[in-house]
Amino acid sequence: MAERPGDAWLPAHQGHVLYWLAHIHATVERLSLALESYLAQDPLQLQARHTRTHEQVVLVGTLPLPEAVPRLLADALNQMRNVLEHALYAEVRVRVGRDLTKDEARALEVPAAQKEEYFDGWTRRKDRASLGLFGYGGELRERLTGFSPCIGCETLHRILSACSWSTPTSRSTRSRQSL
C-alpha cells in the first residue's frame, strides 16, 4: 500500500491493519446491536430491600445472554490479538531490514504477561533477543508493555480480588457501604 498524502500517520508496511480493523469494527458493531436488543428487554429483575441501616438491591432474576454475544466478543478479541501480532511482525521485519527466520517469526506472538518478570522472560528468549528490538528502553518493548493487560495493574487486581463476583449469591446483594 503506497503512502498517499494524509497517510503519513500510518507507515506503508502497516496498511493491512486498516482493513483488519474495519472487520473488527463491523464485528463489534454486530455485538453492540445484539447487546442493545438484549438490554431493551430489561434483562435484570431487581428489587429494593431496605433495612434500618442499609439499602440493598437484590437481583431476583436475569434473562440469558444471546449466544451471539460471547461468540462475537471472542471473535473481536481474537482478531485484535491477530492484528497486533501481524503489525508487530511487519514492524520487526522493516526494522531489521530482512525476512525473519521461521523461529523468529514464530517468536513474535504478542505476550499476555500478568507480571513484569514474565514479560522480561518473553523479551529475553533467544529468537527475540537476537533481533535487538525488545531490550529495556526500546520502543517496541515500551509499546508492547502498554498492550500487556496486567503489567502495572496491581491496584486493579486488589480491587477485583476484594469483590466476590464469582457466584450468583454473592452478586445478589450489595450494600452501598461495600461499594
DSSP track, 154-165 = HHHHHHHHHS--
What is the SS3 assignment for 138? coil
Rounded distance between C-alpha atoms, residue 98 and residue 100, angstroms? 6
pTM: 0.67
pLDDT, one tens digit per residue, over 109-166 is 877 777 778 888 888 888 888 888 888 888 888 888 777 666 556 555 555 565 544 4
The number of distinct structural domains making up the chain is: 1
What is the SS3 assignment for 100? coil
Residue 4 lies in a domain: no
Residue 94 lies in a domain: yes
Residue 7 lies in a domain: no
State the pLDDT at residue 155: 55
Question: Average pLDDT over the chain, rounded to whole?
Answer: 80
Among all chains, which residue has been given the C-alpha cell 453492540? 32
Q: Cell numbers at residue 162, please?
A: 476484594
CA 147 to chain centre: 8
Tell me which residue range forms the domain holding 111: 12-178
Mean pLDDT of 91-101: 91
